[in-house]
Structure 1
Amino acid sequence: MEISDKVVVVTGGASGIGAGLAQRFAREGARGVVVADVNLERAQGVARAIGPMAVAAHCDVSREADIQALVQLARERFGRIDVYCSNAGILGRIGGIELEDALWDKMWQVHGMAHVWAARAVIPEMLERGEGYFLVTASAAGLLNIVETPAYGVTKHAAVAFAEWLRIAYGRKGIRVSCLCPQSVQTDMTRDGTGSAAVNGVLLPEQVAEVVVQTLREERFLALPHPEVAQYFLAKAQDYDRWLGGMQKLYAQHMQQS
């Protein structure tokens, strides 16, 4: 799908990957860009910088009502939604099985149910038109896991699985689905350190947006700004036990440094 003349909604659009996507979509000729974020002031700043085709909206993706209101705003302003980028995410904090239930619940809402709620809100309309695009921002952690925290890795696995299911269920009905799985990207989430995810370098949001635009153009499922992730994913599938052994070494290094 080409972005030109399309209406795009980007959650988590006030900074990082989301801001990079919103800005790049505008340069690709989008007819409308909705920059949605829990931080409305920063979202408004991104929208103003983009220009008159962009509008900012407050949205806490851990609340289904907020997502429904966001979708309604986009429809009222632009008439339709062609591309929905379910991008918002949170890092939480480093820890293990002792991490509190409240953190797990928040992670499930933001990295899991937010995608479900967004799909409920936009997929039926896309099905009626016979076309639409749904982009889930997961993480390389969703394919490979991460040693610093189980809550992040587990919920990002869920994001990948839901994106897969959407593609399975609706891919032959005109709905394109892609899943973005970067390693470390320069965002607010990585300001205090990037941990094991930085093994292949820290990308700029603009670099991630370039890969996303190309992925949407080719309508491929996985968007991998760090191409090494594909090699790791293949190695994991080919020899799961060996891969787990390598991850155990990374975990031991993490524990020594913490």
Structure 2
Amino acid sequence: MEISGKVAIVTGAGAGIGAALARGLVAAGARVVLADLDAGAAAQVAESLGAAAVAVGGDVADEQVIRGLIERAAAEFGPVDLYFANAGIGGGAGLDSTDAQWAAALEVNVLAHVRAARLLVPEWLSRGSGYFVSTASAAGLLTQLGSAPYAVSKHAAVGFAEWLSVTYGDKGIRVSCVCPMGVDTQLLHSGLGATEHSAEAELAIKAVTTAGKVLSPDEAAEVVLAGVDAEHFLILPHPEVLKMYRYKGSDYDRWIDGMRRFQAALLGN
């Protein structure tokens, strides 16, 4: 995928990986619509990128907001070539997570991707090209200690990206699924949505920060854009995740036992 000259939408682009992706895309010659629930943050990033970027505020799990993003991109720059479904939330801790927290995690981390694909894929099929990039997480391949809604919704995000690629990959549509471990973002420092200063929040933070290097958003975005350029399905800013995933698949019971021991060590048990 040659990025130069393409039109992209990036959700969750007010900060973190999304903002870094927008910067990288513009630097590579793309024109970008930045979307974020925090309209002011998205606007600030867009202003720093000049005429090649515009910002739109809104909840990107809302189908009407997604439709508006696509229409704004078409009006400003032309038809959408790439969609980066990057916005994500935590959603709570364990079994005490409320139905509302579960629903929010599934809405933003999964159904926002489904709704975007529903709107984009028919046009991409008629054009014979299009690229959908899902920001999931290593939690979607492994799991996430301290946050059940995050772990489950990210597994679902990986599953949807797989289905999308298998179903439409022979029809000109490319799909990538991004599965990083720790990236220096507010989501990480908040404990993935667990109650602030709670044991679950501390566990979630420790589980990520002790598993490998915490990357900057720019470092993660550089790997993502290189993966898109190469049209890789699975993009791993932390390459060691592949080794962990293979270990999990080779002996599931042993892997679960290892994760229990890891959790106990983090909790000081």
TM range (shorter): over 0.9
1:11-30 aligned within 5 A: 11-30=11-30
Instruction: Tell whether 2:249 aligns with 1:237.
Output: yes
Instruction: Tell whether 2:165 aligns with 1:174.
Output: no
CA RMSD of aligned residues (A): 1.2
Query: For 1:237 and 1:192, how far apart are their aligned partners in 2?
Result: 30
1:197 corresponds, among 196, 200, 208, to 208
2:42 is aligned to 43
Contact 2:145 2:263 (C-alpha < 8 Å) held by counterparts: yes
2:159 is aligned to 161
Aligned to 1:55, the other structure's residue is in SS state: strand
1:59 is aligned to 58
- Alignment size in residue pairs: 255
1:4 is aligned to 4
Query: For 1:85 and 1:222, how far apart are their aligned partners in 2?
Result: 14
User: Greater CA deviation, 196-205 or 102-111?
Assistant: 196-205
Contact 1:147 1:250 (C-alpha < 8 Å) held by counterparts: no
Aligned to 1:92, the other structure's residue is in SS state: coil
Q: Which amino acid aligns with 2:254?
A: R
Aligned to 1:89, the other structure's residue is in SS state: coil
Q: Which amino acid aligns with 1:248?
A: R
Query: For 2:265 and 2:95, how far apart are their aligned partners in 1?
Result: 18
1:159 Cα deviation from its structure 2 partner: 0.2
User: Which runs of no fewer than 5 residues in structure 2 stay unpaired?
Assistant: 192-204
Contact 1:147 1:254 (C-alpha < 8 Å) held by counterparts: no
Aligned to 1:144, the other structure's residue is in SS state: coil
1:212 is aligned to 224
Q: Which amino acid aligns with 2:185?
A: T
Query: For 1:109 and 1:5, how far apart are their aligned partners in 2?
Result: 31
Query: For 1:255 and 1:157, how far apart are their aligned partners in 2?
Result: 24
Query: For 1:59 and 1:170, how far apart are their aligned partners in 2?
Result: 28
Contact 1:34 1:74 (C-alpha < 8 Å) held by counterparts: yes
1:253 Cα deviation from its structure 2 partner: 3.2
TM-score by length of 1: 0.96
Query: For 1:9 and 1:192, how far apart are their aligned partners in 2?
Result: 26
1:72 is aligned to 71
TM-score by length of 2: 0.92
1:84 is aligned to 83
Aligned to 2:104, the other structure's residue is in SS state: helix
1:251 Cα deviation from its structure 2 partner: 2.4
Share of identical aligned residues, percent? 47
Query: For 2:58 and 2:268, how far apart are their aligned partners in 1?
Result: 39
Name the CA shift for 1:97/1:192 in 2 (closer, same or farther; >3 Å). Answer: closer
1:75 Cα deviation from its structure 2 partner: 1.4
